[in-house]
Amino acid sequence: MEKELLFKTNNIGKIYGTNTVLQGINVEFHRGEIVGLIGENGAGKSTLMKIIAGVENPSMGTMEMNGKPFKASSMLDANKHGIGMVFQEQSLISNLSAAQNIFLGREKDFSTLGLVNWAKMNAAARKSLDKLGLTNISPSQKISDMPFAMRQMVEITKVLDIVSETANDRALILLDEPTTVLTDDEMKILFEQVRLMKEKGNCVIFISHRLQEVLDLTDRIYVFKDGHLTGEVETKDADEYKLYEMMVGRETNGEYYVSQRQTVPTDEVVLEVENLAMFGSFKNVSFKLHKGEVLGLYGVEGSGKEDVCAVISGDEAKTDGIIKVNGKEVKFGSPSDARRNGILSVPRDRRDEGIIGLLPISENISVSNYGKNATAGLISGKRQTENAKGWIKDLGIKCEGPNQRISNLSGGNAQKVIFARVLDSECPILILDHPTRGVDIGAKGDIYSLIRDITEKGFSVLLMGDTLDECLGLSSRIIVMKDGLVTAEFDCPADNKPDQVEVVQKML
Amino acid sequence: MNLFSKKDAKSMTVAEQFVSKVEQEALSNKIRVYAPMILLVFMTIVFSIYDSHFFSLKNLVNVLGQMAVPLILATGLTFVLLLGRIDLSVEGVMGLVGSAISLLVLNSRNANDWGIWGVILPLLLGTLCGFITGFLHVKLKIASFIITYAISTIVSGVAVLLYNSRPATVKAQWIIDASQTYFLKIPLITWIAIIFYLICAVILNYTAFGRAVYAIGDNEAAAAASGINVQKVVIEVFVLSGFAASLAGLVALIRLKLGQVSLGENQMFPCITALVVGGTSLNGGKGGMLQTMVGILIYMELLNFLTIIGVSADYKNAIQGVIIIIAVALTITRGRKVIAK
Amino acid sequence: MEKTKPSFKSLFVQNIYILSAVLVIVVFYIINPSFLSLYSIQNMTTELAPLLPMACGIAFVLYAGSIDLSIGAVASAVCVITGLNVGDMGNIMILYMLLFGVMIGLINGLLVSKGKLPSFIVTLCAQSIYRAIAIILSNPHGGGSKNIPLKQRVVVNWATDKILGLPILFWIAIGILLICIVIERKTAVGKSIFAIGANEKAARMAGVNVTLTKICAFILCSVGAAIGGIMYTYKLKSSVPTIGDNLYMMAISSVALGGTLFSGGKGSALRTLVGVLTVTAISSGMNMAGVNPLWKNVVYGVVLIAAVAINSEKGGRDLIIK
Amino acid sequence: MKKALLLFVVVAMLAMTSAVFAADEVWHLGILVHSLDNEFWAQEAKGGELFAESKDDVVAQVLATDGDDNKEMQAMRDFIAQYGDHAIFVTDPASKANTANVVEIAEEAGAKVAILWHHADELEPADWDSFVVHMSPDDFVAGYNTAKHLFDLMDGEGKVVALYGQQGEDSAANRYAGFLAALAEYPKVECLDMQVASWSQDQAMTFTQTWLSTYEDIDAIWAANDTMGLGAIEALKLEGKNGEVLVCGCDGIAAAYEAIEEGDMACTVANNGYLLMGYGASYAYQAAKYGYEPKNPVIKTQAVLVTEDNVDEYKAMFIDGTPEYDYDDLSFCVLSEHPSFAELEAEDAAAAVVTGAVVEAAEEEREWNELIDKINAEIEKGIENGEEGAAEAKELMDFLQGLYEDIVSGEAK
């Protein structure tokens, strides 16, 4: 059965300055289907979504919706045409209620003489939430009082509501990694809803890094690489490996994690944690980190692993337990205390906690260790620049030079700058908190070999991997956490990685 | 922090700990929200005990009368602060509008007698000033602190030019009558302020515009993504603040009859202080009309009390400063990682 | 390798802030050539001397993304204390007053960084406190300003002597400017201030000691204000409890004029110098051009808006600067 | 050779004479006032301008100082940068202390300055070349007189409250000191409270309202200036107590006169900015142009207590019109209500009669005599050198002598 064409693009492209991020994209979306969009970070899929949703203007090409030329000047405009997008980053207003967020910008429907009838709005919100099975969310509850997953659901509700209102089941809904912070149950509800939307004749576009989800949910998959559309497959013909191949152009295996260079940890303990606890997050956590070792910390979101890292990096305060560095007990009030004791982290949230956007690359590298380029307390700008140039070369950071603003770099290159910063700090213990999150696969490989390089030099790494695969691949040992407690510890020698299923059993 | 014994905390599972932590946070948030109100009640009780004059009907009516100008200004500024911006131009606009009205109604300087238009046109002029401020702020992308300061210097300069150094005294009988009109023992100007306050409370809480103000103050990018025309709302807020300043100018003129720039002097910083004491955040997004009222009441009571007990004028400002730092420290909401700018 | 030469255009855009000062000076020179006479230049440099350290000081707080409204009052307090005592105690007062500045900055900084209170409110309250101190201290002397007795003026006269035709105060101010440049470009503290202003969370995670850095910024600011106050004493040879009442807005607006961002993370002492120069030139120039005093505020406001609009960097910012 | 020299001398001489007679020298008067947004200061500025209008060779410019010492110095220097020693100043100084700087700057540039209101301790006009005169309606006296008037109306008995001006300002302090001095003279008058209303009408009103609710029986409110007095009156009006509770002001602004007419205000002091600054300017001008030095350079001007008895007169003079003064008659302004200034008045009146014209004539004569002496010396030299030259010179000399006499007699007509 040939489905009715809902939306198509003709040779869409996008250029930022001299940088072409998207080129010659021709995609078609039909009514009643779910289309997956996959590709590495920076492959261009997010840019395409933004163009369709009216957030960005295309540099070239045209689009058609319902057979008519389509051009959205703003997101609101796109909404009116029946296109709605759920963003990766949270875009809710935290001090407004769920109902107010869902109908933000559309209060007119509930107002008489400009005054909004909140009861009416809450009732409408109730209805929309119920439709998605979100009976546990109260429309009058403030967003700031909700857990993250709940917020995400409100966001999805908001978009679905906007679009279904105007599009009469001819809507195009874009979901940009909606599942990152959802629990399994929530995910199931979401998937059900997405399928329901599809049944009604809408089209849903689904972006996710979790290939299994894509395979579960979609009918058809577009694959992007380096700003080009490189493939299109029917989901029923695809499997995870095939998709990997299409995205990356190579298979994932031990090679990928440079396992042959995995170090065998020495006996020297650099960091020791005894009965560490943070009230309401984890307790009784004990482990030892050896010199030259990569110690993986794994668990689901909310298992407490994030807070273990936060406490060790000085970002959060522990409520109990002991941290010892090189056998000496230490107390951290802030990350700067931790740094002074030789511990520094690569934060997970790169944009918020990693890069210092207004400053150039060289300053971003030196910020953790100004003293390195200083004589008698005075910093030499020249030495700082030379230092930055050295790192740019060593880590292969693609940039115009050390004076370029870091905010103009791509995710992978910005992350490499952050790596340059922690390495430049000469701290022997590094906490890598999702070091490859939002980094394209090429840069990922670079980061993996970099981790091998530094452990060979005697640095010790506490790693929180983005995926279990990554965590297992990189670590010499892995600690699994569940509900705030350590549930298992596995040795992961290069030639004998533990079975993934075994690990997963311990964390769920 | 957990007030129960440590042993208890240790024996709980992490999940239980989490629940109790969330509960505690919710509780402390609630306390924070109500802290200004608790402070207000506490102050009222302590002051009344300390000096019997304080809680006398006469004095309360007094405080209400003096509240008119600060309340109007603070109402307008609430919107500006909710956006995370600041408006230093209100003093200048007050002076300009007051001076302009005094020159257009029956007065001691010239032969003008424009009647009600003599009030309406200056109010529009002040509102226009607000528009210009907002427009320049949005279009030239100049920090609100600086643009509003510049506008303030300009409009107060214009005001002095208008009356050419010799301020006019209002002679229009209806304005003089207005200053001596009372309902329920409360002066008319205070009623004007209260009505304006209530209208603004409705605007803030029951209109799309009000929601948009919160949205922009909390997360400008997200608000824009939700289809809110950020620039338009920002300009509108400055227009509203300009109107509030104009109305405050009118009220101050009704109170004092002499139309000069100094009508607006030393009004703005106290108002902003009062707003912050009431619980409005200077970073935007947090606060509301209730907080504004509480803040203004706290501030007015403090001032009134210090006058009543006759604190030496030399020390009064210093004492006031110390008390306000303490009050803000007690009432302000801060997370552990919240940045104080 | 990827070394690209900065284009003329980008150089021009980067340095456009100098243009406003040049423009203002040229305009006033055309209106009245004696604007650039030696005497007039001496006058303007004397004028600029106390304002420059104050502006340079508060610039650090602005780089860090905070604000300090107390600098005027601090200058008043310092001016009063110095003026009343310098005659008897001699130039050692300068040292004491610098320490006083450090103390004030420490208190402000602690309240802001440790107490997590908004700097706007903390320094607004500090303003009323130090203003009160200035007044209380001058009260036993009949209130108001009090000049250093003529006999004792030898102690302070050196400051207005001239080297190379320009007053010593000016050279000191330039020296302080240079120190500020060194601090912001060459020291960890200065760089950390920019880092926390640009992205406090990230700077914190990178191991920058945010508390200490903020305190340092406030100390630098208050010391700048104290230096300004001392300079006013030496320049006016008297203690003036109201000297700072308008100064803080003047200092803040001159920093803004130079194009320093109020949101933090950007700016330089050289920009501040240009801003101070422009402000001084405007006020001197208007006197010399015979502008009616009634119009002065209007002209000043308009020039301020125009200059800030031209000077501030806003490339690539979608959001409106708050 | 000798002829050439002589001719040069003559031409120089004629040039000088013409300069003296043609009076094409222009004096630039810098009028330094706090600002123009206050009625009294505007009155002062206007006074200075009125004086300048009365002279052909004076150009005035108003320089506002915002009450800021620093801006005042800057404005003076800016002015001197343009006009050098042809700048003259009359200033209502930003502060007492700053007058020392004002004088120093003027001294350095050789510009004459008249200072109003305050002058720093130890700073006496007599010690300085450029500090011509200090004129002031005494703030202390003003505060004293208004307070005394209030207390007299109260029959020397009752309760009073006081509104203080801006903290840190001299006028505020001095007026309050006057108030306290008067208070000390009336033991039965009790001062219930003093508050700092910073010259602000709004604050004064607020304080008064609070007082009215705290104290039952206030008889009078002493305010350090008119604006604050008017604020107090507005508060009284709300209680219907205007006219009942006595209020005073100071400065003499239009609204205060109206309040006196309406019976709401008991008294104010007409500080008379026109007179103060106009005559101040005149002193500076006379000193700069003719080298005139007043015999007693510390002058207390008339600062009249305005009550309902004389309000019409003062309103007509200062508000509805501008007073016309003969700025050459420097004796006019030297009056004072205060007894302690009686002798001053007499002395200075005598001194002040010696005004410009007399000095001018004396100066011209002196210059001529010098010239003639020079030429005579030249002739002496010529005689030594030879008969011929001497005769020639003598001839020329006689001619010149005749010319001079013609000119002088012509001038006299």
Q: How far apart are CA A104 and CA D329, in angstroms?
A: 78
pLDDT at D127: 84
- Note the pLDDT tens digit of each residue in B201-223: 999 998 889 989 999 988 887 88
pLDDT at D73: 85
D and A: touch, per 3+ CB pairs < 8 A? no
- Note the pLDDT tens digit of each residue in A394-437: 888 888 888 888 887 777 888 889 999 999 988 899 999 888 87
Q: How far apart are CA B255 and CA B170, in angstroms?
A: 11
pLDDT at C143: 67
- Between A440 and B146, the higher pLDDT residue: B146
CA distances from D184 to C141, C234, D177, D190 (A): 20, 39, 11, 10
CA distances from B270 to A31, B77, B133, B190, C118 (A): 60, 11, 21, 18, 15
Q: What is the mean pLDDT of residues B238-261?
A: 93
Q: How far apart are CA C210 and CA C66, in angstroms?
A: 13
Q: What is the mean pLDDT of residues A70-94?
A: 77
- Residue C165 pLDDT greater than 60, yes or no: yes
CA distances from A422 to A325, A330, A365, A442, C202 (A): 18, 20, 8, 21, 12
Partners of C241 on chain D (C-beta within 8 Å) are 167-168
User: In sequence order, what are the beta bridge partners of A173?
Assistant: A84, A204
Partners of B69 on chain D (C-beta within 8 Å) are 202
Partners of D91 on chain C (C-beta within 8 Å) are none
By Cβ distance, the residue of C4, C197, C199 closest to A401 is: C4
Q: What sign results for the dihedral spanned by CA atoms B310, B311, B313, B316? A: negative
Partners of A334 on chain C (C-beta within 8 Å) are 204, 209-211
Residue B19 lies in a domain: no
pLDDT at D339: 32
Partners of B142 on chain C (C-beta within 8 Å) are 305, 308-309, 312, 321
Return residues 197-226 of C near A (CB < 8 Å): 197-199, 201-212
pLDDT at C68: 93
Say whether domain A5-248 belongs to CATH 3.20.20.80.
Answer: no
CATH number for the domain harbouring residue B279: 1.10.3470
Q: What is the mean pLDDT of residues D103-123?
A: 85
- Determine, for residues A281 and B221 on separate chains, whether the beta-carbon distance falls below 8 Å: no
Return residues 280-319 of C near B (CB < 8 Å): 294-298, 300-302, 304-305, 308-309, 312, 314, 317-319
- Note the pLDDT tens digit of each residue in D258-272: 899 989 999 998 878
pLDDT at B4: 44
Residue B92 lies in a domain: yes
- Between D227 and D393, the higher pLDDT residue: D227
How would you classify the pairing of strands A269-278 and A282-290?
A: antiparallel
B24-42 burial, b if ≥16 CB within 10 A, otherwise e? eeeeeeeeebebbbebbee
Q: Which of A16, A350, A364, A370 to mutate to test the interface with C (most CBs of C within 10 A)?
A: A370
Partners of A393 on chain C (C-beta within 8 Å) are 1
Residue B29 lies in a domain: no
- Residue C249: partners with Cβ closer than 8 Å, 6 or more residues away: B149, C72
- Residue C306 pLDDT greater than 80, yes or no: yes
Q: What is the mean pLDDT of residues C43-67?
A: 92
Residue B341 lies in a domain: no
pLDDT at B199: 96
C187 Cα distance to chain centroid: 20
- Residue C173 pLDDT greater than 70, yes or no: yes
Orientation of helix C168-186 relative to helix C38-63, angle to 10°: 30
Closest residue by Cα to residue B92 from D209, C249, D233: C249
Structure tokens given for D258: 């109206």
pLDDT at A134: 76
- Note the pLDDT tens digit of each residue in C204-238: 999 999 999 999 999 999 999 999 999 999 988 88
- Determine, for residues B53 and D214 on separate chains, whether the beta-carbon distance falls below 8 Å: yes
Where does D25-84 have alpha helices with state H? 39-54, 69-83
Binned at pLDDT 50, 70 and 90, residue B9 comes out as: low
Asked if D359 is an interface residue toward chain B (Cβ–Cβ < 8 A), one would say no
Task: Report the residue of chain D nearest B177, measured CA to CA.
Answer: D238
pLDDT at D349: 43
Name the residue type at position A48.
Answer: L
Q: What is the mean pLDDT of residues D97-125?
A: 84
Partners of B149 on chain C (C-beta within 8 Å) are 249, 252-253, 304
pLDDT at A492: 84
Partners of D120 on chain C (C-beta within 8 Å) are 147, 238
ipTM: 0.81
- Determine, for residues A344 and C207 on separate chains, whether the beta-carbon distance falls below 8 Å: yes
Residue B126 lies in a domain: yes
Binned at pLDDT 50, 70 and 90, residue A40 comes out as: low
- Residue C46: partners with Cβ closer than 8 Å, 6 or more residues away: C160, C167, C169, C170, C235, D73, D74, D77
Closest residue by Cα to residue D76 from D100, D102, D56, D50: D102
pLDDT at D14: 43
Q: What sign results for the dihedral spanned by CA atoms C211, C212, C217, C221? A: positive
Residue B150 lies in a domain: yes
The nearest CA of chain C is from the CA of A253 a distance in Å of 33
Q: How far apart are CA D90 and CA D276, in angstroms?
A: 10
- Determine, for residues A381 and C186 on separate chains, whether the beta-carbon distance falls below 8 Å: yes
Mean pLDDT (chain D, rounded) = 78
pLDDT at C54: 95
The nearest CA of chain D is from the CA of B308 a distance in Å of 7
Q: In a 3-state reduction of DSSP, which class is residue A503?
A: helix
Of A248-252, D118-122, D342-346, the range with the highest mean pLDDT is D118-122
For chains A and C, CB pairs below 8 A equal 100
Burial of B74 (0-12, 13-18, 19+ CB in 10 A): buried
The nearest CA of chain B is from the CA of C169 a distance in Å of 29
The structure tokens 């100007």 sit at B189
Structure tokens given for D4: 């050439």
Asked if A435 is an interface residue toward chain C (Cβ–Cβ < 8 A), one would say no
- Between C205 and A109, the higher pLDDT residue: C205
Q: Secondary structure of chain D: what % helix, strand, coil (to 5)?
A: 55, 15, 25
pLDDT at D161: 94
- Determine, for residues C191 and A315 on separate chains, whether the beta-carbon distance falls below 8 Å: no
Q: What is the mean pLDDT of residues D44-59?
A: 88
pLDDT at B103: 93
Q: How far apart are CA A456 and CA A450, in angstroms?
A: 10
Q: Which chains touch D (3 or more CB pairs under 8 A)?
A: B, C
Closest residue by Cα to residue A59 from A85, A27, A8, A23: A23
The structure tokens 């230092």 sit at A387
3-state secondary structure chain C: CCCCCCCHHHHHHHCHHHHHHHHHHHHHHHHCHHHHCHHHHHHHHHHHHHHHHHHHHHHHHHHCCCCCCCHHHHHHHHHHHHHHHHHHHCCHHHHHHHHHHHHHHHHHHHHHHCCCCCHHHHHHHHHHHHHHHHHHHHHHHCCCCEECCHHHHHHHHHHHCEECCEEHHHHHHHHHHHHHHHHHHHCHHHHHHHHHHHCHHHHHHCCCCHHHHHHHHHHHHHHHHHHHHHHHHHHHCEECCCCCCCHHHHHHHHHHHCCCCCCCCCCCHHHHHHHHHHHHHHHHHHHHCCCCHHHHHHHHHHHHHHHHHHHCCCCCCCCCCC
- Determine, for residues B187 and D205 on separate chains, whether the beta-carbon distance falls below 8 Å: no
How is A440-451 classified by DSSP, letter by letter?
-HHHHHHHHHHH
Task: Report the residue of chain B nearest A74, measured CA to CA.
Answer: B227
Name the residue type at position A385.
Answer: T
- Determine, for residues B180 and D210 on separate chains, whether the beta-carbon distance falls below 8 Å: no
Asked if C203 is an interface residue toward chain B (Cβ–Cβ < 8 A), one would say no
Residues of chain A with CATH 3.40.50.300: 5-248, 254-342+427-507
Structure tokens given for D41: 């200061």
The nearest CA of chain A is from the CA of C204 a distance in Å of 6
- Determine, for residues C290 and D122 on separate chains, whether the beta-carbon distance falls below 8 Å: no
Domain count, chain B: 1
- Residue A94 pLDDT greater than 70, yes or no: yes
pLDDT at A174: 87
Q: How far apart are CA D33 and CA D14, in angstroms?
A: 41
Binned at pLDDT 50, 70 and 90, residue C319 comes out as: very low
* Number of neighbours of residue B185 by Cβ within 10 angstroms: 11
Asked if B53 is an interface residue toward chain D (Cβ–Cβ < 8 A), one would say yes
Asked if D68 is an interface residue toward chain C (Cβ–Cβ < 8 A), one would say yes
Residues present in chain D in total: 413
pLDDT at D214: 83
Q: What is the mean pLDDT of residues B263-291?
A: 88
Partners of C242 on chain D (C-beta within 8 Å) are 67-68, 95, 166, 168-169
Binned at pLDDT 50, 70 and 90, residue C7 comes out as: low
Residue B80 lies in a domain: yes
Asked if C209 is an interface residue toward chain D (Cβ–Cβ < 8 A), one would say no
- Between D296 and C62, the higher pLDDT residue: C62
pLDDT at C222: 96
pLDDT at D345: 41
Helix (H) or strand (E) holding A191: helix A184-199
A310 Cα distance to chain centroid: 18
- Residue C141 pLDDT greater than 70, yes or no: no
For chains B and D, CB pairs below 8 A equal 96
Partners of D100 on chain C (C-beta within 8 Å) are 147, 150, 237-238
- Residue D381 pLDDT greater than 90, yes or no: no
Q: What is the mean pLDDT of residues A450-459?
A: 88
Binned at pLDDT 50, 70 and 90, residue B295 comes out as: very high
How is D132-172 classified by DSSP, letter by letter?
EEEEE--HHHHHHHHHHHHHHHTTT-EEEEEEE--TT-HHH
- Residue C160: partners with Cβ closer than 8 Å, 6 or more residues away: C46, C167, C168, C169, C234, C235
Residue C101 contacts residue C93 (beta carbons within 8 Å): no
Task: Report the residue of chain C nearest D65, measured CA to CA.
Answer: C293
Task: Tell me which CATH code domain A254-342+427-507 carries.
Answer: 3.40.50.300
- Between D405 and A192, the higher pLDDT residue: A192
The nearest CA of chain A is from the CA of B224 a distance in Å of 9
The nearest CA of chain C is from the CA of A216 a distance in Å of 38
Q: Which of B141, B323, B326 to mutate to test the interface with C (most CBs of C within 10 A)?
A: B141
* Number of neighbours of residue C211 by Cβ within 10 angstroms: 18
pLDDT at C53: 96
- Note the pLDDT tens digit of each residue in A194-205: 888 888 888 889
Q: How far apart are CA B62 and CA C95, in angstroms?
A: 49
A and C: touch, per 3+ CB pairs < 8 A? yes
Strands in A269-278's sheet, in edge-to-edge order, are A282-290, A269-278, A320-325, A328-330
Q: How far apart are CA D118 and CA D115, in angstroms?
A: 7
Task: Report the residue of chain A nearest C266, measured CA to CA.
Answer: A358
pLDDT at D354: 40
- Residue A145 pLDDT greater than 90, yes or no: no
Q: How far apart are CA A210 and CA A175, in angstroms?
A: 13
By Cβ distance, the residue of A353, A368, A378 closest to C201 is: A353
Of A186-190, B45-49, C178-182, the range with the highest mean pLDDT is C178-182
Q: What is the mean pLDDT of residues D360-368?
A: 62
Domains within chain C, CATH numbers bracketed: 15-310 (1.10.3470)
By Cβ distance, the residue of A356, A380, A401 closest to C203 is: A356
Q: Could you tell me the residue range of the domain that residue B165 belongs to?
A: 36-331
A327 Cα distance to chain centroid: 35
pLDDT at D19: 41
B307 Cα distance to chain centroid: 22
The nearest CA of chain D is from the CA of B217 a distance in Å of 33
Q: Which of C5, C62, C205, C313 to mutate to test the interface with A (most CBs of A within 10 A)?
A: C205
pLDDT above 90 covers what percent of chain C? 41
Asked if A358 is an interface residue toward chain C (Cβ–Cβ < 8 A), one would say yes
Q: In a 3-state reduction of DSSP, which class is residue D13?
A: helix
Structure tokens given for B257: 């009859």
Residue B23 lies in a domain: no
- Determine, for residues C238 and D120 on separate chains, whether the beta-carbon distance falls below 8 Å: yes
- Determine, for residues D258 and B108 on separate chains, whether the beta-carbon distance falls below 8 Å: yes
